[in-house]
Amino acid sequence: MSNIGFIGLGNMGGPMAANLVKAGEHVHGFDVVAAARDASAKDGVQIVANARATVENADIVVTMLPAGEHVLSVWNDIAPHARQGTLFIDCSTIDVASARQAHKIGAANGIATLDAPVSGGVGGAKAATLTFMVGGSTHAFERGKPALERMGKRIVHCGEAGNGQVAKICNNMILGASMIAVSEAFVLGERLGLSHQAMFDVVAASSGQCWSLTSYCPVPGPVPASPANNGYKAGFTAALMLKDLKLAKAAADSVKADTAIGAHAARIYERAAEEGLSAEDFSAIVKLVRNRSDAR
Ligand code: NAD
């Protein structure tokens, strides 16, 4: 049994911390929001007074926070109070520059560090089936892997500091763009008289096949488990997709990578936000494509 500190007990962090408890770990948790603390207390997390208190006697400290600024602020606060050799793992999705800065905060305080963003959403967090994309030294990776395995199914070492975040934004840049492309194809097909099922049957077995079509189809019917069949209840919100596309754009600008489609996908998700789709699943982008087609 390890002592694990956990900071950020929200939609993702709450169930992740609960899975650590279920696996027999001793978890000290903190969140700035009382409702999150109360929910985690019911799951067996021992709630402490503040973020610093989570690091006392901790072998590992996990953060699951909204953005880079929160991670840097929390790590700067807690790192000087952690035991030498403690392992900090940030599982938030944050910008690559902040992730690399966080590793530097750890190094300056004698702390081992990993960036380990996830895919799999709230469902994966609850079911402990997340994929972790991990950046950091091989030694830190080997130390952190058993704890990550308690919260996820696939743990992939992507290389040095920050590379977990790089893998995450590359994946989500493809995902955002492919969801728009699949949605455009459905709307084009429907306007030309092609049924959703016929398009699905052909494309799912053809070269246009992709996860956005066959696992997460943006129109109701062909894939019963997709959010389209459940009023586009997220899942993974359009707001989070926009966040990740903006992170990808910022990273691309920082290294002068030409990601024209990724940048355009960010603009389309920005429009979705303007039209009130932020809280819906990101596959609701098909509604924007349809509305804008109707308006032409
Ligand atoms: P959330 O807003 O539900 O949870 C974040 C939690 O952090 C909140 O409870 C908030 O109160 C807490 N917090 C903020 N600042 C804090 C501080 N200084 N100290 C302690 N607690 C603090 O968000 P979420 O959906 O759980 O997402 C967390 C991270 O995971 C984000 O970076 C997000 O991009 C990423 N992510 C989310 C999903 C998803 O489907 N929700 C999927 C993959 C990745």
Mean pLDDT (10-residue bins), the chain, 296 residues:
96 98 98 98 98 97 98 98 96 97 98 97 95 98 98 98 98 98 98 98 98 97 97 95 98 98 98 98 98 95
- C-alpha 205/C-alpha 197 separation (Å) is 12
Q: Whose CA is nearest to atom 20 of ligand 1?
A: 31
The atom number, within ligand 1, closest to the CA of 235 reads 40
Which residue of the set 168, 243, 249, 287 is catalytic? Answer: 168
Ligand 1 center to 106 CA (angstroms):
21
Evaluate: CB of 12 within 6 angstroms of ligand 1.
yes
CA of 10 to the centre of ligand 1 (A): 5
20 CB within 6 A, ligand 1: no
User: Looking at residue 252, what is its pLDDT?
Assistant: 98
Query: Candidates 30, 31, 72: which one to mutate for ligand 1, based on the most atoms within 8 Å of Cβ?
Result: 31
Confirm or reject CATH 3.40.50.2300 for domain 166-294, answering yes or no: no
**Is 233 a residue of the active site?**
no
Closest atom of ligand 1 to 244 CA is 34
Q: Count Cβ atoms below 10 Å from residue 250 Cβ, excluding itself.
A: 14
Residue 70 CA, ligand 1 centroid: distance in Å: 10
pLDDT of residue 4: 98
Task: Quote the pLDDT of residue 235.
Answer: 84
Q: Which CATH number fits domain 3-160: 3.40.50.620, 3.40.50.1470, 3.40.50.300, 3.40.50.720?
A: 3.40.50.720
Does the C-beta of 64 come closer than 6 Å to ligand 1? yes
Given this model, what pLDDT does residue 138 score? 98
Domain ranges of the chain: 3-160, 166-294
What is the Å distance from ligand 1's center to 12 Cα?
6
Q: Whose CA is nearest to atom 38 of ligand 1?
A: 121
Specify the pLDDT at position 12.
97
pTM value?
0.96
Confidence (pLDDT) at 140: 98
Q: Is 236 in the pocket of ligand 1 (CB under 6 A)?
A: yes
> Does the beta carbon of 11 sit less than 6 angstroms from any atom of ligand 1?
yes
For the Cβ of 129 lying below 6 angstroms from any atom of ligand 1, the answer is no
Distance 65 CA to ligand 1 centre (A): 4
Q: What is the dihedral of CA 184, 187, 191, 193, to 10 degrees?
A: 110
- Three-state SS for the chain is CCEEEEECCCCCHHHHHHHHHHCCCEEEEECCCHHHHHHHHHCCCEECCCCHHHCCCCCEEEECCCCHHHHHHHHHHHHHHCCCCCEEEECCCCCHHHHHHHHHHHHHCCCEEEECCEECHHHHHHHCCEEEEEECCHHHHHHHHHHHHCCEEEEEEEECCCHHHHHHHHHHHHHHHHHHHHHHHHHHHHHCCCCHHHHHHHHCCCCCCCHHHHCCCCCCCCCCCCHHHHCCECCCEHHHHHHHHHHHHHHHHHCCCCCHHHHHHHHHHHHHHHCCCCCEEHHHHHHHHHHHHHCC
